[in-house]
A and B are shown apart, each in its own frame.
Chain A
């Protein structure tokens, strides 16, 4: 039985387990044994924090609540699943695509199997990423938290101030741990600065959370109801995710504006982020101009990779939007289900009260209690899984907009280069014309001028080409990074969902098992 299995100490190559991989059951029991060996405490984070830097530090207990009696559920499950396995063979077969052979996974995978928690896949993921990122130098020891939303001021001039805490061992910062107070427009200001500096050279700058007039007005007016607390919490979490994404970016992390944002106690007010400011209106005008330009630029795409990627992102955008809509519908229906279950529970309790048969009356009251507890459970689960999933989807829809923006910048860059070439060509033609003309006195001066201009434009053309190549290169890297991040983020959320589901099911089983004898006791 799984209970007797001792997980081997860290570092042993677990060769025998890999042979057992083909036999799915044993893979599972090995997981069970790792599970029970460490009830670890949860540290829920909305995004996995990047402080598991190297394997030598050992896997950190990750984000779940383990109960010892979970083992029973798994033990049972193992048996049941093995009965099922014949039909599952097609999925189980380790040949998803022809090109893939599980080539030497042993050395890479073996140490990971020691990860002592149910979040094993997350650890796997990180380990694989780390190996890759160590090569790219993309792992940073920095953790950001956004907390303690506080209302400052009164009436329509009020705003929420958030505490931004940074924990880091990076040398570029003055201290290891520090925190500052920031308001929402500060975040927008930061994003605006970063976007202006980096987007046009091809870096995907994570977008800031969206403004919400309705939400904020409620908070300002001082409505202390659940929807405004929800709104503030949603925003706090979104701001945290935003900063965490931003600091994960190697180039952005080096930016002085970001450092100033994180470190300095006083920050100049970012008035330019207001919609109706001068800068705001200028932004709107620029956006419109861009949209028109996009329609008129006809780029000769020489690189198939870009064309393919753009198409992929278009598809992804559509699918994510659709998925987002479905998930929001689910969140909504779960809320309804919760309300209806609570109403039913009350009604069942009343019915139990009026029932004059004692045992039945008691059983009905118990039923009411069970339904109430189940309602609570569903509420918690709904928050843990789909709400987080929904938020993540929203983030990614905005991120994809940023990606598209970066592709657009590349197009503009290309256009600039082409324009420079055209101008150079014109200048050369002008020069040629001058050569043929016969006006000695003005000629030399004009020739010199033209020569200068030609040189100038030749440099510009060269610069334009270099810029274009640079932005193309940067975008390739950025897109690769984006895709890895996306895969990681989604998997984390989904694994979290599965984890919370296990707990929910366990609780459900407990409640119904407690109720069953009461129902049977009705005589």
Chain B
């Protein structure tokens, strides 16, 4: 069982992929997290000056399922149909990491003690990195909700933040999961039908075309970025192995002479590993996040198109009713409702999509700048390591000459 306590430093870890205004009225963060065998417990910490809460500052412990419950409650709420619902955080997945640690434990006998300790350290670092990421993802979700002018007032959200007992939200059982699956199928089929309807409004027509293409390309870029960072990790592991081999070669066969070369390879490896991890955070996570957000934006457009279709259908029904002079009042009310719903959604959707663009541009900017700065730092550090070890080589040349002289 691996238990690790994690205290994120608020300024850095928060808002990794989203640039959010922190607002005195409501500030939410994850101050602590504990990983137990198969679940992660997040300590959600709130600071608020709003009158809705009993205290100004308080904390509760929440698990992943409760986050999902909150997200789903937003999606199912008709009143929020006109907003981009912040995407739910992905499930914490330590399976791969745990498996690797287990394999390492089994293979302990077949490698040297140094190799084993090294690999163990690395796997633990990997585990910690995944842990940090999942905490960040959950935090970003909460922050997005807290920053949204309407969603932050949601009652379920307040309960989530304040109620210090277990919300008794269980994960979906098989039947419910199957229902979800069918719902999704119907939705995507419907989405296809609905998207066939051309929009009168230029803004939304453009947004739809843009979002569909963007979403696909982000998906592709995200997958390729993942592969690239994994390759980087493989290369780093290779450096590690080569370093150990050179070290053994150096110590057994030629004492001292090769020490610096293996040390150099080790340091190279650490740098490569860090580059890979940073690329991972900056690039891959960013792309993954916007994959989910662009999906949420697409969902908004779908809901709007749906309501537009409903509105047009209601119009047709009204015309028919007037022609037949039957149930006219009912048709009128339906049509009015549809009209209101459609206009409400359209209005808020426009603003949401503009905000989405602003957020996206800001997040990309922040991450790309940080990525470039990190890469620069690494390149320079490698240069320094190189210079240092190169210098050592030169230095040892002198020693060797002395050695030959005394023989």
Within 8 A of B (CB), among A166-185: none
> Is A101 engaged at the interface, CB distance under 8 Å to the other chain?
yes
Contact present for B238 and A333 (CB under 8 Å)? yes
> Is B167 engaged at the interface, CB distance under 8 Å to the other chain?
no
A261 to B258, CA, bound (A): 38
> Is A187 engaged at the interface, CB distance under 8 Å to the other chain?
no
CB < 8 Å neighbour of B393 from A99, A121, A357: A121
Closest to A494 in B: B261
Given contacts A108-B401, A315-B252, contact A357 B395 (CB under 8 A): no
Within 8 A of B (CB), among A72-91: 73-74, 76-78, 80-81, 84, 88, 91
> Nearest-CB distance from B229 to chain A (Å)?
9
Contact present for A516 and B242 (CB under 8 Å)? no
Contact present for A354 and B406 (CB under 8 Å)? no
A357 to B357, CA, bound (A): 8
A92 to B228, CA, bound (A): 37
Contact present for A356 and B238 (CB under 8 Å)? no
A434 to B210, CA, bound (A): 113
Given contacts A326-B242, A516-B373, contact A101 B402 (CB under 8 A): yes
Closest to A131 in B: B404
Within 8 A of A (CB), among B359-407: 360-361, 364-365, 368-369, 371-373, 375-376, 379-380, 382-384, 386-406
Given contacts A121-B393, A326-B238, contact A344 B372 (CB under 8 A): no
Contact present for B397 and A125 (CB under 8 Å)? yes
Query: Which residue among B260, B365, B373 has the maximum number of chain A CB atoms within 10 Å of its CB?
Result: B365
A498 to B398, CA, bound (A): 19
A333 to B397, CA, bound (A): 33
CB < 8 Å neighbour of B386 from A78, A353, A502: A502
Contact present for A343 and B402 (CB under 8 Å)? no
Contact present for A512 and B387 (CB under 8 Å)? no
> Is B235 engaged at the interface, CB distance under 8 Å to the other chain?
yes
Contact present for A354 and B210 (CB under 8 Å)? yes
Contact present for B228 and A81 (CB under 8 Å)? no
Contact present for A501 and B382 (CB under 8 Å)? yes
* One of B50-58, B138-146, B216-224 contacting the partner: B216-224
In the complex, which residues of chain A have a beta carbon less than 8 angstroms from the beta carbon of B405? 103-105, 108
Contact present for A360 and B231 (CB under 8 Å)? no
In the complex, which residues of chain A have a beta carbon less than 8 angstroms from the beta carbon of B227? 340, 343-344
> Is A316 engaged at the interface, CB distance under 8 Å to the other chain?
yes
Contact present for B397 and A124 (CB under 8 Å)? yes
> Is B26 engaged at the interface, CB distance under 8 Å to the other chain?
no
Given contacts A28-B391, A81-B387, A323-B249, contact A329 B238 (CB under 8 A): yes
In the complex, which residues of chain B have a beta carbon less than 8 angstroms from the beta carbon of A103? 402, 405-406
> Is B73 engaged at the interface, CB distance under 8 Å to the other chain?
no
Within 8 A of B (CB), among A89-136: 91-92, 94, 96-97, 99-105, 108-109, 120-121, 124-125, 128, 132
> Nearest-CB distance from B365 to chain A (Å)?
4
A355 to B357, CA, bound (A): 10
A41 to B210, CA, bound (A): 52
B-side interface residues, number (CB < 8 Å): 74
> Nearest-CB distance from A168 to chain B (Å)?
28
Given contacts A354-B217, A513-B376, contact A333 B235 (CB under 8 A): yes
Closest to A96 in B: B256
A76 to B382, CA, bound (A): 12
Contact present for B390 and A367 (CB under 8 Å)? no
> Is B1 engaged at the interface, CB distance under 8 Å to the other chain?
no
Given contacts A104-B405, A522-B364, contact A355 B214 (CB under 8 A): yes
Q: Contact flags (1/0) for A261-293 with B, using CB distance below 8 Å?
A: 000000000000000000000000000000000
Contact present for B242 and A512 (CB under 8 Å)? no
Starting from the known contacts A94-B399, A522-B365, 6 additional A-B residue pairs (CB-CB under 8 Å) come to: A27-B394, A340-B228, A354-B210, A356-B357, A360-B360, A519-B371
21 contacts between A and B (CB under 8 A): A21-B398, A24-B395, A73-B380, A81-B387, A103-B402, A323-B246, A333-B234, A340-B228, A341-B228, A343-B224, A347-B221, A351-B214, A354-B217, A355-B214, A357-B360, A359-B361, A364-B364, A495-B393, A508-B375, A509-B379, A519-B371
Interface residues of chain A, those whose CB is within 8 Å of chain B, are 21, 24, 27-28, 31, 73-74, 76-78, 80-81, 84, 88, 91-92, 94, 96-97, 99-105, 108-109, 120-121, 124-125, 128, 132, 312, 315-316, 319-320, 322-323, 326-327, 329-330, 333-334, 336-337, 340-341, 343-344, 346-348, 350-351, 353-357, 359-360, 363-364, 367, 487, 490-491, 494-495, 498, 501-502, 505-506, 508-509, 512-513, 515-516, 519-520, 522
Interface residues of chain B, those whose CB is within 8 Å of chain A, are 210, 213-214, 217-218, 220-221, 224-225, 227-228, 230-232, 234-235, 238-239, 241-242, 245-246, 248-249, 252-261, 263-264, 357, 360-361, 364-365, 368-369, 371-373, 375-376, 379-380, 382-384, 386-406
